[in-house]
C-alpha cells in the first residue's frame, strides 16, 4: 500500500470510529431505550418571553421562548401545529450533579435587534460560577430553528453542557420515535420528522422515554449521561446531546440547528442551515423583519417613550408572525396553550382562528399600514371560514375547518364591518356580505327575530349582549352601504330597517333601572330574556356562582356601542355604567388601573395561583379571572370618543406597563389574589403574547395620533350620532 493510500485508510478508519463513538460509545447501551412509552407531560407554561419566525413563506417554522429559559413549543408546518414541546439546556458539574440551566440561574430575555423578532437569553448562575447565552432565529430559506450558544465558567471550573430536546411531531406528544445517525438526532412521527445537529459535532447522544430513560432523568441521577441509547421506539420521546461546551477557552461556542421536514429531508434541512452559520442566517432573518417594518407607517407620535415605541414595533411583528404561511390570512389567537389547555393533544383553542380576534388583528394591521395583511384576513374569513348559510364558525383550524360548534353573532357581523373598512364593495365581496347580513336578519330564537346570540364575546353565555348587538347593528349598516354599491337597494333598506329597530331597543334589552349597583340606569353584561329589570338568574360558569341575578353581572364590553358608533359617548346610561364598572370590576395595581372582564368571572388561575382547569364544580369559586389589559385599550378608545385624549393616553401607558419579558403583552395580569405571591399588574400564566392585546395597543396608539377612533364606521356614527 502506498503512503498516500495508507494515510487515506487511516483517515477513513478514524472517521468511521468517530461515527461509531457517537452512536454507540464504549460501555453504553447498544439497544433501543427501555421504559416505553414514558410519561406524558403537558405543553409548557403559556407566558412566553418571545415569539418568532422569518418573514418568508419558505420557512414554515415558528418558535417560542420560555420565560424560565430555553425554547418552548416550536410549530411546523403551520402555526396551528406544534411539532416540538421544548429545547432546554442542562449543566453538569462533573461532581455528580446536574441542573436545568434555568433552574440554577437568573434568566433574562432580550431583543438583539429592536426591529426584529430575534432573541438572546442570558443565564447567569446565581453564585456566579458560570454563564450561558443562547440566541435564537429561524432560517428564512428553510424550516430550521438555530440557537447560538456561548458558555463561560469561573477560572478553574469545568462543566458539561447538554441540549435536551422534546419533540411533539405532527401535533401529538406521544408517538415520536428517535434514533442517532452519525452526529444527528432524528425523530419521526409518520410523515413528519425533525433533525437536531450541531457545530462542533455532538460528543454523545441518547434517545429515551420521558421519565424513564431520557437524558434528563439519567443526568439527574449522577451528573453523567450513562444510558446513551441509539434509538427509541414510538412514545414520549426525549433526545439528549452532549455539547462540546465546558467553559474554558476553546470550548465556549456551539451552534445548534433543529430542522423539520419529512423523514427523508429533515437532516438535510438542518445541515444546510448549519453550513450557513448562525450569524449569516440571523442577519438574513433580521433583514426580513426590518424590510417588513420599512414598508409600514412610521410609529405614531402618540408613543411617548422608547419603551412604548419598542412595544409598538414588537406588537406589529407579533401580529405578522401570527399568520400561517400556507393558509394566508389565517392569524391565530396566540402561540401558546395556557393552563389545562396545555394537556390537549392535539393542541387546543388558542392555536385556532377566531373571526372576532381576526377582526381585531386586521383593524390593527390597517392602522399600522399593512392593508395587504388585513385583506388576506378578510379573504380567509370569506373564502375559508364562512359557511354556506352565511354564518361563521366559533373557531377554525388554519385551513378553515370548523372546530368548536358554537355560534356567536358578533363573529358573523364583524367581517362585514372589516369589509367596509377595507373599501371592499366588489361583487364577490358583496356576495359574502349579503349572506352574512341575511343570516343576521333571519336568525330567530324561539320564533323571535331579535339580536339574541347563542354566545356573546366571552364565549360561555347566551342572551342579549350589548357588545354583540353593537357589532350586529354596525354590520348591517355597513352591509347596506355595500348593497347600495352593488345596486341592491331593497337589501339595503331591509338591513337599515333592522339595524334601526335594534338600535332603538338596545337599551330596552340591556339597561336596568332596578339593579343593585346604582339608582341610575346601567348596562348589564347580558340579559337572558331581554328584560333587564327582571331578576332573571343564570349560572356564571368556570366555577363561578349559580343562580346569579342578571342585574348583578356587568361587563366593560358594552363600550362597543360607542366604539362602533351605535350610541354617543355622552349617553347617560353609558356614562353611569362607567362608574359601576370601575367599582365592580376595577383593580388598582402598581402598574396602573385594570378591569376584570365580567362580574364573578372564573376564567383564570385558581385562588392559590395554580392553573385553571376544566370541569370544576359550579359555585365552588375555585378559579378567578384576573384583569385584562385589552380592556384598557377599549377604555382608551372610549375616552377619545368622549373628547378626553389625556385619559386615553393614560390607558396606553398602563397597557405598556403590562408587558412581560421580550415585550410580550398578556391576556391577563395579576390582581391582588393571591396576596403576596405575584406582583399585581404583571402577566399571569394566561396566553402571552395574545394577538388581540397587541392589536388593541397598536390601534389605541394610532387613534391617539389621529385624535379619534379611526376604525369606527363613519356611516354608523353619522346615522346614530
Task: Check residue 617 and report its DSSP letter.
Answer: P
Residue 491: half-sphere exposure toward Cβ, Cα within 13 Å: 23
Q: State the catalytic residue, choosing from 456, 605, 637, 667.
A: 456
At residue 434, the 3 state secondary structure works out as: helix
- Residue pair 628/667 in contact by the 8 Å Cβ criterion: yes
β partners of residue 145: 138, 258
Residue 87's CB: how many other CB atoms inside 10 A? 24
CA torsion through residues 182, 184, 190, 192, sign:
negative
β partners of residue 167: 84
508: left (phi over 0), alpha (psi -120 to 50) or beta: alpha
SS3 content of the chain, % helix, strand, coil (to 5): 35, 20, 40
Pairing between strand 105-111 and 98-100?
A: unpaired
Cell numbers 429561524 correspond to 138
Q: Would you call 459 a catalytic residue per the annotation? A: yes
- CA angle 302–308–309, rounded 5-degree value: 80
**Grid cell listed for 1:** 500500500
How far apart are alpha carbons 407 and 395 in whole angstroms?
A: 9
Q: Would you call 520 a catalytic residue per the annotation? A: no
How far apart are alpha carbons 420 and 446 in whole angstroms?
A: 31
Element (H, E) at 99: strand 98-100
| DSSP state letters, 267-309 | HHHHHHHHHH-HHHHHHHHHHHHHHHHHTSPPPPTT--SHHHH
Element (H, E) at 695: helix 691-706
**Grid cell listed for 564:** 362602533
- Residue pair 93/161 in contact by the 8 Å Cβ criterion: no
- Residue pair 332/352 in contact by the 8 Å Cβ criterion: yes
Q: Which residues contact 309 (CB under 8 A, 6 or more apart)?
A: 299, 303
558: left (phi over 0), alpha (psi -120 to 50) or beta: alpha
Residue 110's CB: how many other CB atoms inside 10 A? 15
Q: Which residues contact 337 (CB under 8 A, 6 or more apart)?
A: 42, 43, 46, 73, 344, 347, 348, 350, 351, 687
How far apart are alpha carbons 642 and 667 in whole angstroms?
A: 26
How far apart are alpha carbons 426 and 214 in whole angstroms?
A: 58
Residues serving a catalytic function are: 456, 459
Amino acid at each position: 500500500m502506498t503512503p498516500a493510500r495508507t494515510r487515506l485508510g487511516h483517515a477513513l478508519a478514524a472517521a468511521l470510529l468517530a461515527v461509531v463513538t457517537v452512536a454507540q460509545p464504549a460501555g453504553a447501551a447498544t439497544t433501543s431505550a427501555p421504559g416505553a412509552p414514558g410519561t406524558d407531560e403537558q405543553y409548557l407554561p403559556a407566558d412566553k418571553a418571545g415569539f418568532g419566525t422569518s418573514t418568508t413563506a419558505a420557512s414554515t417554522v415558528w418558535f417560542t421562548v420560555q420565560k424560565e429559559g430555553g425554547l418552548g413549543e416550536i410549530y411546523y408546518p403551520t402555526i396551528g401545529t406544534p411539532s416540538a414541546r421544548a429545547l432546554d439546556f442542562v449543566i453538569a458539574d462533573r461532581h455528580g450533579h446536574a441542573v436545568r440551566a434555568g433552574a440554577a440561574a437568573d434568566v433574562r430575555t432580550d431583543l438583539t435587534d429592536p426591529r426584529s423578532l430575534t432573541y438572546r437569553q442570558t443565564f447567569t448562575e446565581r453564585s456566579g460560577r458560570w454563564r450561558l447565552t443562547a440566541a435564537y432565529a429561524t432560517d428564512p430559506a428553510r424550516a430550521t430553528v438555530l440557537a447560538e450558544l456561548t458558555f463561560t465558567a469561573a477560572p478553574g471550573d469545568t462543566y458539561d453542557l447538554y441540549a435536551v430536546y422534546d419533540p411533539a411531531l405532527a401535533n401529538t406528544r406521544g408517538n415520536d420515535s428517535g434514533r442517532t445517525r452519525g452526529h444527528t438526532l432524528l425523530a419521526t412521527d409518520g410523515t413528519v420528522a425533525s433533525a437536531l445537529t450541531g457545530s462542533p459535532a455532538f460528543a454523545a447522544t441518547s434517545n429515551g422515554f420521558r421519565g424513564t430513560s431520557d437524558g434528563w432523568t439519567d443526568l439527574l441521577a449522577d451528573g453523567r449521561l450513562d444510558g446513551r441509547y441509539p434509538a427509541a421506539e414510538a412514545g414520549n420521546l426525549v433526545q439528549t446531546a452532549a455539547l462540546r461546551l465546558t467553559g474554558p477557552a476553546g470550548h465556549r461556542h456551539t451552534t445548534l440547528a433543529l430542522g423539520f421536514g419529512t423523514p427523508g429531508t429533515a437532516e438535510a434541512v438542518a445541515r444546510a442551515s448549519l453550513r450557513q452559520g448562525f450569524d449569516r442566517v440571523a442577519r438574513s432573518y433580521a433583514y426580513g423583519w426590518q424590510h417588513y417594518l420599512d414598508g409600514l407607517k412610521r410609529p405614531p407620535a402618540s408613543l411617548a417613550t422608547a419603551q412604548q415605541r419598542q412595544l409598538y414595533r414588537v406588537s406589529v411583528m407579533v401580529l405578522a408572525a401570527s399568520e400561517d404561511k400556507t393558509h394566508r390570512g389565517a392569524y391565530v389567537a396566540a402561540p401558546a396553550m395556557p393552563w389545562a389547555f396545555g394537556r390537549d393533544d392535539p393542541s387546543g383553542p388558542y392555536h385556532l382562528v377566531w373571526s372576532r380576534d381576526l377582526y381585531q388583528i386586521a383593524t390593527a394591521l390597517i392602522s399600522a399600514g399593512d392593508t395587504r395583511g388585513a385583506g388576506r384576513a378578510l379573504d380567509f374569513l370569506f373564502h375559508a371560514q364562512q359557511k354556506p348559510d352565511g354564518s361563521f364558525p366559533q373557531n377554525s383550524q388554519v385551513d378553515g375547518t370548523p372546530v368548536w360548534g358554537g355560534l356567536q353573532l358578533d363573529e358573523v357581523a364583524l367581517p362585514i364591518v372589516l369589509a367596509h373598512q377595507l373599501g371592499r364593495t366588489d361583487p364577490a365581496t358583496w356576495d359574502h356580505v349579503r349572506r352574512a347580513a341575511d343570516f343576521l336578519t333571519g336568525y330567530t330564537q324561539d320564533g323571535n327575530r331579535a339580536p339574541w346570540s347563542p354566545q356573546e364575546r366571552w364565549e360561555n353565555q347566551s342572551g342579549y349582549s350589548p357588545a354583540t348587538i353593537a357589532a350586529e347593528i354596525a354590520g348591517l349598516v355597513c352591509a347596506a352601504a355595500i348593497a347600495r354599491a352593488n345596486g341592491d337597494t331593497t337589501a339595503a333598506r331591509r338591513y337599515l330597517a333592522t339595524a334601526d329597530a335594534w338600535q332603538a331597543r338596545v337599551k330596552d334589552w340591556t339597561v336596568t333601572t332596578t339593579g343593585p349597583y346604582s339608582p341610575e340606569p346601567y348596562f348589564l353584561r347580558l340579559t337572558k330574556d331581554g328584560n333587564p329589570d327582571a331578576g332573571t338568574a343564570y349560572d356564571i360558569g368556570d366555577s363561578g356562582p349559580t343562580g346569579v341575578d342578571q342585574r348583578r353581572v356587568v361587563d366593560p364590553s358594552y363600550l362597543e356601542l360607542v366604539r362602533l358608533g351605535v350610541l354617543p359617548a355622552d349617553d347617560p346610561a353609558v356614562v353611569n355604567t362607567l362608574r359601576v364598572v370601575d367599582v365592580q370590576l376595577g383593580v388598582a395595581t402598581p402598574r396602573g388601573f385594570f378591569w376584570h372582564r365580567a362580574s364573578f368571572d372564573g376564567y383564570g388561575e385558581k385562588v392559590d395561583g395554580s392553573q385553571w382547569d376544566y370541569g370544576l364544580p359550579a359555585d365552588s369559586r375555585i378559579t378567578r379571572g384576573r384583569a385584562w389589559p385589552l380592556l384598557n385599550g377599549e377604555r382608551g378608545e372610549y375616552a377619545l370618543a368622549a373628547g378626553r385624549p389625556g385619559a386615553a393616553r393614560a390607558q396606553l401607558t398602563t397597557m405598556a406597563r403590562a408587558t412581560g419579558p421580550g415585550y410580550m403583552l398578556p391576556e391577563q395580569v395579576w390582581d391582588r389574589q393571591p396576596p403576596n405571591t405575584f406582583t399585581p399588574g404583571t402577566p399571569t400564566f394566561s396566553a402571552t403574547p395574545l394577538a388581540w392585546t397587541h392589536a388593541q395597543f397598536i390601534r389605541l396608539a394610532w387613534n391617539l395620533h389621529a385624535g379619534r377612533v379611526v376604525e369606527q364606521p363613519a356611516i354608523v356614527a353619522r346615522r346614530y350620532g
